[in-house]
Structure 1
Amino acid sequence: MSAGHDHGAEGMSDARLVWAVIVNVGLTVAQIVGGIVSGSLALIADALHNFSDAASLGLALFARKIGRRPADKLMTFGYGRAEVVAALINLTTLVIVGFYLLIEAATRYLDPQPIEGWTIVIVAGIALIVDVATAAMVHKGSKDSLNIKAAFLHNVSDALASVGVIVAGTLILLYHLYVADLIMTVLIAAYVLYQGFSLLPKTIKLLMGAVPDDVEFDAIVRALGDIEGVASLHHVHIWSIDEHHRSLEAHLVPSERSLEAFEAVKADARRMLEQRFSIGHATLEACLDVEGADHEPRLPAHPSK
C-alpha cells in the first residue's frame, strides 16, 4: 500500500489501547487469584492468555509510537518495522505460554488437586464480559495492523476460552467431572499454539524482506516487461519496508537510448506498480550495456503462488 493510504490502526486512538491494557492486566490478576483459590488450572491458563494479550497490546502501543518516527540517517526507510518486531516478540511468548500450559496440564493430571466450581464460573463469567469489551475496543484497528489483529484475535479466543472454562466449572458443579478442567486447559493451550504458529511465518517473512504474500513475482516482471519502451529487465527485487509499504528495485534495458524517453518509461512503470501492485517505492535504473547485462547473475525463477 502506498504511503498516502490511511490505515485502520492509525484511525484508532492510543487511549483505547491503554484502556485495553489496563483492563486485561486487572482481569489477569483476578483470574490468577481465582484460579489459586479454586484450584482451577484452566482458569490460570486463561489468565496467562489474558496476560499475553495485555503484553501484546502494550508492545503494540510502544511500537506504534516508535513507528511514527520519521526516517533519519540511522533508519533511512523509517521505523515502521518496530511493530513487526513487537509482533515477533509477542508471538514467540505466546508459543512458550502454550507449551507451558500443556506441561502443567500433564503434571496436574498425574497429581490431581481439588477444584472449586463456583469460583471458576464466577471469575470466568467476568472474564467473558471483559474479553468481549476489549475485543470491541481494538476491533477498529485490527483490519490493517498485524499487531492489533493478533491482539483482537487473542481477545476473541479468550472469550471462547472463558466460555470453555464456564462449561468446565458447570460440569464440576453438576457431575464432579474434574477432568473437564484439564481438557479445557489442553484446548486453550492448543488454540494459543495455533494462533502463534499461524502468524509467526508472516512476521518472520516481513522481517526477512520476503516478497509480500499477496504479490506474484512473475506477474510484476511480466507487467514491467510489457511497458512500452522496455526492451528487457533484470535484477528485480521486491520486499516489504514494513507491514503496509512495499518497495521494488530493478534494472531496465530501454528500447531508446534517450534520457527523456527513459523518464517517461519510469513514470509509466511507477504508476503501474502503484495502481496494480500497491508498490509505492520503486527504484528503476537504466541499463544500457545489454551485453554486460546478459552476463550478470540472474534471479532464480520464482514459482507462481
Structure 2
Amino acid sequence: MGQEHNHGAETLGDKRLIAAIGINALLTLTQIIGGILSGSLSLIADALHNLSDAASLVIALVARKIGRRPPDAFKTFGYRRSETIAALINLVTLIIVGMYLVYEALGRLLSPQPIEGWTVVVVAGIALIVDLATAILTYTMSKNSMNIKAAFLHNVSDAMASVGVVIAGTLILVYGWYWTDTVLTLMIAGYVLWQGFSMLPKTIHLLMEGTPEGVSINDVIGAMESTSNVEGVHHVHIWELAEHRIALEAHVVVKKANLHDIERLKIELKHLLHNQFGVSHSTLEIELDGSDCVYATPNVSRHDDA
C-alpha cells in the first residue's frame, strides 16, 4: 500500500512538472515576441529567465525518472544522485544567464533604444499570473527536493521580476523613464546570480560526498563509543548517497567477544545511527581490541576536527 501511495505521489508530481513546463514554454515565447515588438530588454531578460526555468523543469523531470531506476551492477547505489547532477546543471546555466543579462544591460546603457510601455505592462502582467501558477504547482514538491526547490525559487523570483517589469513599464508610460528598463534588468540579473551562487555550494558539497548538513562526525563517534562493549571508532565516513539518504562506514573496535555478541552489537549500532542521526545505510567493520587496523593512519577519530 505504501509503495502504491508513493508511486501515485510521484506520478502526480510528474504531471505537475509537465504542466509547469508547458505554461513556462508558452510564456517564454510570448515574452520574447513582446520584448522584440516593444524593444524592452527587461522583458527579454525575464523571458530568458523563464526559458531557464522551463529547461530546469525538463531536467528535473528527466532526473526524477532516472532516479527511480533500481540499483544494478553498473550503479550499485542506484541513480538517485541524478537529481543532484541536474541541480548543478540548472544552477550553472542560471549563472550564465545572469552574466549575459548584465552584459546586455550594460550595452543598452551605451546605446539606449525606444520602448513600447503598454506592451511591456501587458506581457509582464500575463507572466506574473503564469509564474504564480507554476510556483503553486511546484510548492509542495519543493519541500523535499533540492532540484524542485531550485525550480520553485526560480518561479518565485520570476514573479517578483514580473512585478518589477510592470512597474518599469508604468514608469515609462507615465514619466518616460526609459532608463528604468535597464536598471530593472540589472536588478533581475543580480537576483539570478545571487540565487545561483547561494545554492551552488550545497549542491557541490553533496556531489563531493561531504558530511550532511546538521551531522557532526564527533557526535556520531561519541554516540557510538558510548555504546556498551565499544572501545573505539575510527575511519568514519559519512556522506549523502542522495538527498535525505545518509550513508556511513566506520571501523569499530570492540572487546573480546563471540560472533553472536558482535552481530548483536552491530544491530544495536545500526539502530542508534538510524534513529539518532538519520543514517539509512551503514557499513561497520568490527575489529577486536589490540588487533592492528589494516589502515595504519585513521582518517577520522574522535579528536579530529571534522
**TM-score, normalisation: structure 1:** 0.94
Write out aligned runs for 1:115-264 (5 A): 115-264=115-264
Contact 1:70 1:79 in 2 (8 A): yes
Shift of 1:276: 1.0
Return the alpha-carbon distance in structure 2 between the equivalents of residues 18 and 214 of structure 1.
34
Deviations 1:49-72 (Å, cap 9, x if unpaired)?
Answer: 101110011000000000000000
C-alpha deviations, 1:211-248, integer Å up to 9, x for none? 11121111111111111121111111111101121100
Give the distance between the partners of 1:295 and 1:249, measured in 2 at CA.
14
SS at match of 1:292: coil
Letter in 2 for 1:243: E
User: Cα gap change, 1:19/1:11 in structure 2, threshold over 3 Å: closer, same or farther?
Assistant: closer
Match of 1:287, SS state, is strand
Contact residue 9 and residue 145 of structure 1 kept, 8 A: no
Q: Tell me, yes or no, if the aligned pair for 1:8 and 1:140 is still in contact at 8 Å.
A: no
Alpha carbons of 1:112 and 1:193: their partners in 2 closer, same or farther (altered >3 Å)? Answer: same
Contact 1:9-1:140 within 8 A present in 2 as well: no
Q: Which runs of 5+ in 1 are unaligned?
A: none
**Inter-partner Cα distance in structure 2 for 1:299 and 1:54:** 43
* Structure 2 CA distance for partners of 1:97 and 1:8, relative to 1, 3 Å: farther
Within a 5 Å distance, the mapping from 1:1-305 to structure 2 comes to: 10=10, 12-288=12-288, 290-293=290-293, 296-299=296-299, 303=305
CA distance in 2, matches of 1:100, 1:157: 17
How far apart are the structure 1 equivalents of 2:6 and 2:235? 31
Number of aligned residue pairs: 301
Contact in 2 for aligned 1:102/1:186 (Cα 8 Å): yes
Distance 1:303 1:166, change over 3 A: farther
Q: Is the 8 A contact 1:31 1:43 kept in 2?
A: yes
For 1:175 and 1:78, the matched residues in 2 are separated by 59
Query: Taking CA–CA contacts closer than 8 Å with sequence separation of 6 or more, which of the two structures ends up with the larger relative contact order?
Result: 1
Offset at residue 299 of structure 1 (A):
2.1
Q: Please, which moves more after superposition, 185-194 or 253-262?
A: 253-262
SS at match of 2:285: strand
Q: State the AA in 2 paired with 1:136.
A: I
- How far apart, CA to CA, are the structure 2 residues paired with 1:143 and 1:8? 18
Contact 1:8/1:144, CA 8 A, preserved across alignment: no
C-alpha deviations, 1:75-127, integer Å up to 9, x for none?
00000001111111100000000000000000000011111100000000000
Distance 1:58 1:210 in 2: 27
Kept in 2: contact 1:34–1:120 (CA 8 A):
yes
Shift of residue 293, structure 1, vs aligned partner: 3.2
Per-residue displacement from partner, 1:235-282 (whole Å, max 9, x unpaired)? 111111011211000110112322111111111111111111110100
Note the C-alpha offset of 1:13. 2.4
212-221 or 18-27, which moves further after superposition?
212-221
Amino acid at match of 1:260: H
Code of the aligned partner of 2:26: G
Where 1:283 maps in the other structure, the secondary structure is strand
Deviation digits for residues 105-158 of structure 1 (CA, Å, limit 9, x no counterpart)? 000000111111000000000000000001001111000001100000110110
Paired AA for residue 19 in structure 2: W
Q: How far has the Cα of 1:302 moved from its partner?
A: 5.1
**Deviation of the 1:289 alpha carbon:** 5.8
Cα pair 1:49 1:158 within 8 Å, conserved: yes
Q: Distance in 1 between matches of 2:6 and 2:146?
A: 15
- Aligned partners of 1:254 and 1:287 also within 8 Å: yes
1:199 to partner: Cα distance:
0.9
